[in-house]
């Protein structure tokens, strides 16, 4: 069972790095969907008896991250932007380099932490860190509103991985918190994306440059 866990974690990190490299909107969303699906299966792999909490989490992730949000994103892509090409802020090469550095940093970081608890696998913490940092990098390097939302969600995945550490003992409240946050955050963002669309007829946030105050 643990072998599967390591595999899944490795897949998540690789998908995250592919996301960094992906350029077309459609492929970005598909990569995200696949990553979320793998994420959803991890709680099952963690072992321990399958109790109500786990089921709720797995189902919740699947419903939210694999089905509901991607459909909305695809709808937004079709409805909103004409060009599918979403260039990055730093350009692909620099992106990957930075991604590599951040993954290295997260492994270096996790070597510093000694986990006295029974670790599910020593790969869990570094992969969670790297997903988090790559999600952050995705947020930073992409100018398209939709890719930013995807970046935000990848970061949420990273945090979700950390939440798994506390799986048995976390009270229900924190899980609700996670879902609440993802759901509402994305919900607001999708509304805002539509607003951007009819306001600016493009979703390139880099053109939302400094408001008039700054130039003065």
Partner 1 sequence: MVLFSLGSAQFLTAAGPEQVQIGTLLKPVLSLSKVFGVFFLVLILLTLARTFLAGRASQRRAETWACGYAPSSPRMQTTASSFAKPVLLFFKSVTSFKIHAVRSGNYFPKNLELSSNVTDASEHFIFRPFYVTLRKFSKGTLKLQSGTIPQSLFYILLATVALLIWRFLW
Partner 2 sequence: MIFFILGLSLFGGGLAFVLPKNGMRNGVLVCVALVHLLCMASFWIIPLPDVRGSFLALDQLGLLVLSVVSTLFFVVSIYAVGYFRGEANKSNRMLIGCLLCFLFSMTLVTVSQHLGLFWVAIEATTLASAPLINLQRARQGFEATWKYLMICSVGIALALLGTFFLAISAIGFKTLLLRDLLSHAVSFSVPWLKLSVIFSLVGYGTKMGLAPMHTWLPDAHSEAPSPISALLSGALLNCAFLGILRIGQVCNAAGQGSFFGSMLTLLGLISMGVAAVFISGQSDYKRMLAYSSVEHMGILAVGIGVGGMGLYGSFFHMVNHAFTKGMLFMTAGNLYQYYHTKRSRDVTGVLRTYPWTGGLLTVGFLAITGMPPFGTFLSEIQILSAAVDQRHYGVAFFYLLFLALIFVSMATIVLRMVQGMPRQACAPKKNRESILAVVPPLFLALIVLMLGLYVPPFLDGAFKEASQLLGS
| Residues contributing to the site for partner 1 (CB under 8 A) | 89, 105, 108-109, 112, 133, 136-137, 139-143, 148, 205-206, 208-211, 214
Backbone angles phi, psi at 208, to 5 degrees: -80, 70
Contact partner, 143, from partner 2, partner 1, none, Cβ < 5-8 Å per class: partner 1
In this structure, are residues 135 and 155 in contact, taking their beta carbons and an 8 Å threshold?
yes
Cα dist from 83 to 27, 87, 148, 200, whole Å: 14, 11, 16, 15
Contact partner, 206, from partner 1, partner 2, none, Cβ < 5-8 Å per class: partner 1
Q: Is residue 60 packed enough to be buried (19+ CB in 10 Å), middle (13-18) or exposed (0-12)?
A: middle
Identify which of 5, 76, 89 has the alpha carbon closest to the alpha carbon of residue 39: 5
Q: Is residue 201 at the binding interface for partner 2, with CB under 8 A as the rule?
A: no
Q: Which two tokens stand for residue 163?
A: 């939440």
| Min CB(216)–partner 2 separation in Å | 3
For partner 2, give the closer residue by CB, 95 or 203.
203
Identify which of 88, 92, 4, 99 has the alpha carbon closest to the alpha carbon of residue 46: 4
Q: Is residue 199 at the binding interface for partner 2, with CB under 8 A as the rule?
A: yes
Residue numbers at the binding site for partner 2 (CB under 8 A): 112-114, 116-117, 132, 136, 139, 145, 148, 152, 155-156, 159, 162-163, 165-166, 169-171, 173-174, 177-178, 180-181, 184-185, 188-189, 192, 195-196, 199, 205, 208, 211-213, 216
């Amino acid at each position: 069972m643990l072998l599967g866990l390591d595999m899944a974690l490795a897949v998540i990190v690789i998908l995250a790095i592919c996301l960094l490299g992906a350029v077309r909107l459609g492929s970005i969303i598909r990569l995200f969907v696949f990553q979320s699906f793998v994420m959803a299966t991890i709680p099952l792999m963690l072992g321990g008896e399958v109790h109500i909490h786990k089921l709720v989490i797995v189902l919740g992730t699947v419903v939210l991250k694999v089905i509901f949000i991607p459909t909305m994103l695809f709808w937004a892509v079709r409805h909103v932007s004409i060009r599918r090409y979403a260039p990055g802020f730093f350009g692909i090469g620099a992106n990957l380099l930075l991604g590599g550095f951040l993954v290295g940093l997260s492994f270096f970081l996790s070597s510093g932490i000694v986990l006295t608890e029974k670790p599910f696998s020593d790969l869990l913490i570094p992969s969670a860190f790297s997903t988090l940092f790559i999600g952050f990098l995705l947020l930073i390097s992409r100018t398209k509103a939709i890719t930013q939302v995807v970046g935000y969600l990848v970061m949420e995945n990273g945090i979700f991985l950390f939440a798994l550490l506390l799986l048995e003992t976390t009270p229900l409240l924190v899980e609700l918190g996670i879902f609440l946050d993802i759901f509402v955050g994305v919900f607001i963002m999708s509304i805002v994306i539509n607003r951007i669309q009819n306001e600016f007829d493009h979703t390139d946030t880099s053109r939302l440059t400094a408001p008039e105050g700054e130039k003065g």
